[in-house]
Amino acid sequence: MANYDGLTPGQVLADASVAEFIKELGLGIAKAQKELDDNSVRQMQAFTEIQDGLGERSLLELGLMPAFYHYQHADVSVSLQLRLEVGKRDEFGFSASARLGDTRQRSSSSSSSESQSESGTSVETRQARLEYRADATGTLSVNGTQVVPAGQAPRVRLGSLRDQLVGGQGVEALVYSPPDTVLSISSDAPGHQVVTTSRSVAFTFTAAANGLIAIRDNVATDYVLNSGTTVSTSAQGDLAAYAEHVKSRVDAAGGFTTSLHPPHRPDEPRFGVYFDTGEAEFRNEDDRRSLTELARAFAATGTRVRLEGMTDRQGSAQKNLALGEARGRFVRDFLIANGVPEGQIELVESQGEQRAARANDDDGTPNQQWRATSIATPERDYYWLSLRSEGSALLDGIAPDLQGGGTGNGFVFLWQPASPDLSAFSVTVEGEAFPLDGTAVAGHAANAAEAYAHHLAAALNATATLRANQLGHVVEVMRASDTYEVELFSATSEQIELTGSEGLTVTRQFSRSRSREVESREGTSTAVAVGVSVDKRESRQFNMAVTGNSQISARLASVPPPELFVEAIQALQRERRS
């Protein structure tokens, strides 16, 4: 019998040869059919023999034919019960005795046993898991204390749960993964204004003009920003100096905020999305806006991107690995929601805190540089200069215009400000239409992208079957029955008991238990002696039982022999007579 410690259910079934047993039942029917066929052939001798009592004729000559039998149908039913018991016990014993010459005697003994069930490489960090339904309204009880998530949208409620658990209740971090929802989502609004995927709706228009200039050549170039602004540049010592020169000239012209992005270099990502400690969502609106501008530029230019979620060295390595993965997924999903094809995105496996460790950050050091998802553009070997208008500045009549393709220096992306009236359009989710509403709300101007997203998310959350999260101008959509996978991390040795209700299910508890006994005595003695004994005992016990029943039901049908078969037998009989 195999050592079942640590095997998956599928591996246990394979060792128990369950599949082999079922296969043999099926082969039994095939073997029985072969016996029927052989019997049909064997009986031909009786039908072709000359019988004296029949006037020296055979049964075949008299018109009698042998019957052939076939299974018309055959069913196999199997019912099995497999029970596996695994016993595991580790014991460690220590005893010591000492007698001293000062007439004192002391003896002591100590024994301990430990059992634990936890995930990760470190015993000190324990994990629990929850399933959180998108429509959950329940509470989580932590050692009898009720934690009540607040808010309507799933991400808001999970954020509330995290805020109440982390830093108290013995919980180090809460990390969750959104449901992998695939829905039928569409819109009759213009495609450049409303982008839909199987999990999201994005209102892709902006209140500010945005542009992206590609700087490939160190040559004098005139850049037309609008009808009143032309920026003239001259060649510099090298391309890097020329790129800085272009930036300084655009800054001097005024009206725009600019950022210069050097070419891609290995292990030097040129973009990043930053997060607060323990979180994997945007810190603020500026971060969301910056990533949105990048997403629209990536989509328009076909730029391939590589993402990696990272963390600083606060907390355990297991928690940081899960958190880094969550940060990478968040940025990937946001890029896709904004129209970047999934094929343009490579999400590499997170290393958690390892980049911070290689940069010689001490364990426990907070560092915003590493609380990020890095965004690399590995195929870009030239500079980008991004522009965002301040106030009423426009990007109009731009030149050189390379939006349709081409080489050299010039604009490769332009995102003009707009606030369209989409009230005549709707978004359809799983066959249900939701009219678009751009009424001013929550500080957002009328017909702003964020206003449309706010109203759509509210309408979805008001249904019985759907739920939504609003991320600025993006609405994440899911079924009310979809679940978030939630991981809780704890570094405390205290017992933590979790109980969930109404859509919040505890699928794995924090589990660790210890017991220890100590005994000591004192007395008098004139002897001097010291004795120590240590023993360690380890045992494993496996017990497996397979019980059940099987049944084969079949129906036989008799059919006449094929004409060709009869003709062959008759011909053979005639040869024998001759």
For residue 287, what are its two tokens?
Answer: 């971060």
Look-up: residue for tokens 């009989």?
A: 573
C-alpha torsion sign, points 267, 273, 276, 278: negative
Beta bridge partners of 266: none
Return left, alpha or beta for 388; rule: phi > 0 is left, psi -120 to 50 is alpha, else beta: beta
- List, in sequence order, the alpha helices (H) in 4-94: 9-15, 18-42, 44-48
The pair phi, psi for residue 112, each rounded to 5°, is -145, 150
Which has the closest alpha carbon to 65: 571, 578, 576, 565?
Answer: 565
Is the bond leading into 66 cis (omega within 30 degrees of zero)? no
Strands (E), 134-228: 140-142, 145-147, 173-177, 185-187, 194-196, 200-203, 210-215, 222-226
535 band by pLDDT with thresholds 50, 70 and 90: low
Top pLDDT among 473 and 3 is at 473
- % the chain with pLDDT above 90: 60
118 band by pLDDT with thresholds 50, 70 and 90: very low
CB-based contacts of 562, cutoff 8 Å, min separation 6: none
Rounded Cα distance, 380 and 348, in Å: 18
Rounded Cα distance, 212 and 302, in Å: 13
369 band by pLDDT with thresholds 50, 70 and 90: very high
Kind of pairing, strands 372-376 and 200-203?
unpaired
Look-up: residue for tokens 């599949």?
A: 19
CB-based contacts of 74, cutoff 8 Å, min separation 6: 29, 552, 553, 554, 555
Across the range 297-301, mean pLDDT stands at: 95
CA 111 to chain centre: 44
Q: Which helix (H) or strand (E) holds 479?
A: strand 474-479
Q: Count the helices and strands in the chain (H runs, E runs).
A: 10, 28
Top pLDDT among 23 and 444 is at 444
Measured CA to CA in angstroms, residue 88 lies from 113, 117, 171, 452, 539 at distances of 12, 12, 28, 58, 6
Q: Which helix (H) or strand (E) holds 555?
A: strand 529-559
| pLDDT for the residue 211 | 96
Check pLDDT > 80 for residue 359: yes
Rounded Cα distance, 175 and 352, in Å: 13
Which has the closest alpha carbon to 575: 40, 48, 39, 36?
Answer: 48
Top pLDDT among 333 and 11 is at 333
Rounded Cα distance, 86 and 540, in Å: 7
CB-based contacts of 279, cutoff 8 Å, min separation 6: 159, 162
CB-based contacts of 241, cutoff 8 Å, min separation 6: 218
Check pLDDT > 50 for residue 233: yes
Kind of pairing, strands 229-232 and 222-226?
antiparallel
Check pLDDT > 70 for residue 131: yes
User: Of 361-365, 450-454, 472-476, where does mean pLDDT reach its minimum?
Assistant: 361-365
DSSP state of 194: E
Contact indicator for 142, 497 with CB cutoff of 8 Å: yes
| pLDDT for the residue 570 | 76
Across the range 478-501, mean pLDDT stands at: 92
Top pLDDT among 23 and 143 is at 143
Give the chain's domains with CATH numbers. 9-83+547-577 (no CATH), 208-415 (3.30.1330.60)
For the sheet containing 372-376, what is the strand order? 271-274, 372-376, 305-309, 345-347
Across the range 127-141, mean pLDDT stands at: 95
Contact indicator for 176, 484 with CB cutoff of 8 Å: yes
Check pLDDT > 80 for residue 114: no
Helix axes 317-337, 285-301, angle to 10 degrees: 60
Q: What is the pTM of this model?
A: 0.68
Kind of pairing, strands 345-347 and 194-196?
unpaired
Which has the closest alpha carbon to 510: 125, 148, 132, 173?
Answer: 125
CB-based contacts of 366, cutoff 8 Å, min separation 6: 277, 312, 314
Check pLDDT > 60 for residue 182: yes
Across the range 109-122, mean pLDDT stands at: 38
3 band by pLDDT with thresholds 50, 70 and 90: low
Beta bridge partners of 236: none
Check pLDDT > 90 for residue 262: yes
The pair phi, psi for residue 206, each rounded to 5°, is -135, 155
| pLDDT for the residue 553 | 67
Amino acid at 505: T
